[in-house]
């Protein structure tokens, strides 16, 4: 998540101040504030609750809108921690990358749990407001695309919808030119002494990484050592957790689509289910999965 332009001031407090205040209030919460309550200054709750503008009078549309917004935030949060992990791996700090990777996997689990909010929705319920969404589709989520790019799922043509939004387009173009998390993992394996071909390390990052037998062989080798000092094996498991939880989100999305619109064409112009299934065939960290056959 990028820095916000306006940062409302929240005055820091010390443990001593908290103890003194609790003693002065007799243990009940503070009830007097000047201006914004500090919760709002930090969480921006008033702003957040102004961001829901449903298109219909249908009571159910609010769940659809809020779930979409909650998922946007989770896409950004997962990307935030994966970027942190990527920076640490670039600095050969494998141990330091484990915590942000575990956080990212947990965010993806929270993201997937958000699908629960739409389990009430039948095709008739969705149809009550679906037309009003026009050509809008989650397919046009720039943050989702940045998350996919970071995970190494790179279909360059998917940034085209953003050509008319130069700032977003520039961010996506930069994301596509930079190495993915997987590219950085592969470079780390090479620095750690695993034999990897030069053209794999110098590849054109804007194209999708294709599973390579040398990367697979490196992981087979890494997983052989069960010792407590094998940080690369821990890294493999943390990345597997991220890919697995991301797959859960995609699977729940697919079943939500099947439940709420069957195989009808999508609002974004695709043929719906069939397109999504093809999109899901692209997998994050492919050699971490295929290597398991040889362990
Ligand atoms: C009833 C609920 C939903 C239905 C029926 C639905 C349907 C679809 C369909 C048909 C597509 C394919 C593109 C198209 O033609 O539109 C798609 C793509 C997508 N949707 Fe949804 N969607 C739903 C909810 C959501 C929500 C809540 C999100 C979260 C923001 C979301 C995010 C996405 C993303 C990121 C893609 C692109 C996937 C990819 O590139 O593989 N969808 N959706
Ligand atoms: N693709 C869905 C609509 C959809 O999911 C959507 C439409 C507008 C804004 C957000 C959407 N979905 C999730 O963010 C459909 O085909 O009806």
- Tokens standing for residue 98: 């484990």
Residue 5: per-residue pLDDT: 56
Cα-based distances in Å from 249 to 110, 178, 196, 229, 252 = 10, 25, 32, 32, 5
Residue 7: per-residue pLDDT: 65
- Do residues 105 and 204 share a domain? yes
Q: How far is the CA of 85 from the centre of ligand 1 (A)?
A: 27
Question: How many structural domains compose the chain?
Answer: 2
- Do residues 72 and 102 share a domain? yes
Residue 9: per-residue pLDDT: 77
Burial environment of residue 70 by CB neighbours within 10 A (0 to 12, 13 to 18, 19 or more): middle
279 closest CA partner among 95, 105, 145: 145
Residue 8: per-residue pLDDT: 58
pTM higher than the cut 0.90 = yes
Domain membership flag for residue 123: yes
**CATH code where residue 286 lies:** 1.20.58.480
Task: Let me know the angle formed at the C-alpha of 103 by 98 and 107, rounded to the nearest 5 degrees.
Answer: 150
Residue 204: per-residue pLDDT: 96
- Do residues 19 and 43 share a domain? yes
DSSP state, residue 209: P
Q: Of the candidates 11, 30, 51, which is a domain's last residue?
A: 51
Q: How far is the CA of 268 from the centre of ligand 2 (A)?
A: 8
Domain membership flag for residue 182: yes
- Do residues 192 and 284 share a domain? yes
- Tokens standing for residue 167: 């700032």
Length of the chain in terms of residues written:
295
ipTM score above 0.95:
yes
- Do residues 37 and 121 share a domain? no
CA torsion angle 219 77 69 72 (round to 10): -40
Domain membership flag for residue 56: no
- Do residues 250 and 282 share a domain? yes
- Do residues 7 and 130 share a domain? no
Domain membership flag for residue 237: yes
Cα-based distances in Å from 239 to 170, 198, 235, 248 = 28, 23, 6, 14
- Do residues 46 and 78 share a domain? no
Residue 6: per-residue pLDDT: 62
121 closest CA partner among 278, 255, 19: 255
Residue 1: per-residue pLDDT: 47
- Do residues 27 and 167 share a domain? no
- Do residues 22 and 122 share a domain? no
Show the DSSP H helices in the chain as ranges: 15-25, 38-43, 45-49, 61-90, 94-113, 123-130, 142-151, 166-177, 181-191, 198-201, 213-224, 231-261, 273-280, 286-290
**Residue 80 marked as a ligand binder:** no
- Do residues 9 and 66 share a domain? no
Domain membership flag for residue 97: yes
Domain span at 10: 1-51
Please indicate whether residue 275, judged by its CB atom, sits closer than 6 Å to ligand 1: yes
Please indicate whether residue 285, judged by its CB atom, sits closer than 6 Å to ligand 1: no
Q: How far is the CA of 281 from the centre of ligand 2 (A)?
A: 21
Domain membership flag for residue 110: yes
For 74, residues 6+ apart whose C-beta sits below 8 A from its C-beta are 107, 108, 110, 111, 114
Domain membership flag for residue 91: yes
Ligand 1, pocket-test mutation among 76, 132, 139, 147, most atoms within 8 A of CB: 139
Domain membership flag for residue 81: yes
Report the pocket of ligand 2 as residue ranges, CB < 6 Å: 68, 130, 133, 136-138, 266-268
What does each of the 295 residues of the chain score in pLDDT, given as a tens digit? 444 556 657 889 999 999 999 999 999 999 999 889 999 999 999 999 999 999 999 999 999 999 999 999 999 999 999 999 999 999 999 999 999 999 999 999 999 999 999 999 999 999 999 999 999 999 999 999 999 999 999 999 999 999 999 999 999 999 999 999 999 999 999 999 999 999 999 999 999 999 999 999 999 999 999 999 999 999 999 999 999 999 999 999 999 999 999 999 999 999 999 999 999 999 999 999 999 999 9
- Do residues 240 and 199 share a domain? yes
Cα–Cα distance measured from residue 137 to residue 266, given in angstroms and rounded to the nearest whole number: 8
Cα–Cα distance measured from residue 138 to residue 145, given in angstroms and rounded to the nearest whole number: 10
Residue 202: per-residue pLDDT: 96
């Amino acid at each position: 998540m990028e820095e916000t332009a306006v940062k409302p001031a929240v005055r820091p407090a010390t443990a001593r101040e908290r103890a003194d205040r609790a003693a002065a209030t007799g243990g009940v919460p503070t009830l007097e504030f000047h201006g914004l309550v500090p919760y709002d200054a930090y969480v921006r709750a008033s702003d957040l609750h102004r961001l829901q503008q449903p298109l219909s009078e249908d009571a159910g549309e609010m769940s659809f809108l809020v779930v979409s917004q909650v998922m946007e935030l989770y896409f950004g949060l997962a990307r935030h921690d994966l970027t942190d992990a990527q920076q640490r791996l670039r600095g050969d700090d494998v141990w330091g990358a484990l915590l942000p990777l575990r956080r990212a996997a947990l965010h993806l689990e929270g993201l997937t749990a958000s699908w629960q909010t739409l389990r009430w929705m039948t095709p008739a319920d969705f149809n009550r407001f679906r037309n009003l969404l026009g050509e809008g589709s989650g397919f046009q989520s720039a943050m989702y695309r940045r998350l996919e790019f970071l995970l190494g799922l790179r279909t360059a043509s998917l940034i085209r919808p953003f050509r008319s939004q130069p700032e977003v387009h520039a961010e996506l173009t930069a994301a596509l030119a930079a190495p993915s998390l997987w590219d950085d993992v592969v470079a780390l394996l090479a620095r750690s002494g695993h034999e990897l071909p030069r053209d794999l390390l110098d590849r054109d990052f804007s194209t999708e990484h294709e599973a390579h037998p040398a990367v697979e062989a490196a992981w087979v080798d890494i997983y052989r050592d069960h010792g407590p000092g094998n940080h690369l094996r821990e890294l493999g498991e943390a990345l597997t957790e991220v890919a697995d939880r991301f797959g859960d989100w995609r699977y729940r999305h697919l079943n939500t689509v099947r439940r709420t619109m069957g195989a009808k064409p999508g609002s974004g112009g695709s043929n719906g289910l069939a397109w999504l299934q093809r999109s899901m065939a692209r997998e994050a960290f492919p050699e971490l999965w295929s290597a398991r056959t040889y362990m």
